[in-house]
Amino acid sequence: MKKKSIAETRTLSGCWGKTKILFISESNLDIRIRNYNAKDFEDVYEIYSKSFAEEPWNEYMKCGLCGVNYGIYESRTVKQSCKKCNGPLRLERYWSRKDVYDDIEYAIAIDWRKILVAEINGKLAGFTWGYRMDKEKFNFLSESEIFSKEGEIMYVDEVATSPDCRNMGIATMLETVLLSEARNSGFSYAVLRTDEKNKSAISVYEKLGFRKMKANNGELKDPEFNSRIYMAKPLVRYG
């Protein structure tokens, strides 16, 4: 069966208002983007913990003493002492349910936020959330060009796709809807962060129109994470 483009656009009442639901069909494949609700949490948690356990994040397990992360392979080949603190190694899951729950609750508490999930034939396949950026929290970005311009910024905090649903365009669909919601709400820019080694994600973001942010005087660096990069996309046209 020939692949269809967006076949239908509707609005449904989600837990925080209305959001677009996209129906994209290919044969019997039904992909929908909708608002997150509390019943989605366990599925979101599983996708979250599996996605960030992979390269380049390697947030699979952590030392119970100092919290340093261990990737999937590394956690299976570790020795008796921690690679960082040299204490007796007791590994625990890097992301607990409480960690992810608190992350979502943080987003919910912000005056403008959008938390979306993707479903394939009724099964959760991915998620994203974004919210109004607190410029004071990201004051190290103040040297960037967009911080000197007027207008609100939407910060894309998280996006992840189930390992079983990769290379299907799920992340692109999620971000397209999220960016549309932000644009319709009057935001001027969207900003996100990723790791410079995460080439596949960077490619997706560039296709969506994001570009690496630079400081007015050159390089822009996160003071806590040297390999982290920030990307921005204008949501309105200037000039």
Whether the upstream peptide bond of residue 234 has omega within 30° of 0, thus cis, is no
pTM of this prediction? 0.86
- Residue 1 is predicted with a pLDDT of 35
> What domain count does the chain have?
1
Instruction: Label residue 68 exposed, middle or buried (CB < 10 Å: 0-12, 13-18, 19+).
Output: middle
Which pLDDT value is given to residue 28? 61
Domain that holds residue 230: 27-45+97-234
Helix (H) or strand (E) segment spanning residue 48:
helix 41-51
Whole-number Å distance between alpha carbons of 62 and 8: 44
Would 22 be classed as within a structural domain?
Answer: no
Residue 104 burial (10 A CB sphere; 0-12, 13-18, 19+): buried
For the stretch 137-154, pLDDT in tens is: 998 898 888 887 889 999
- What is the structure's pLDDT at 225? 86
Instruction: Return the half-sphere exposure (C-beta side, CA atoms, 13 A cut-off) of residue 47.
Output: 25
Domain with 151 in it: what CATH number?
3.40.630.30
pLDDT confidence of 26, banded at 50, 70, 90?
Answer: low
- Average pLDDT over every residue of 225-238: 88
Tokens matching residue 90 = 């007791």
- The length of the chain is 239
176, part of any domain = yes
| Euclidean distance between CA atoms 20 and 10, whole angstroms | 6
| DSSP E strand stretches across 106-150 | 113-120, 123-132
- Examine residue 217 and state whether it is found in any structural domain, yes or no: yes
What gap in Å lies between CA 143 and CA 58, rounded to an integer?
Answer: 30
Q: For residue 192, is it within any domain?
A: yes
Q: Per the domain annotation, does 16 fall within a domain?
A: no
Within a domain: 51: no
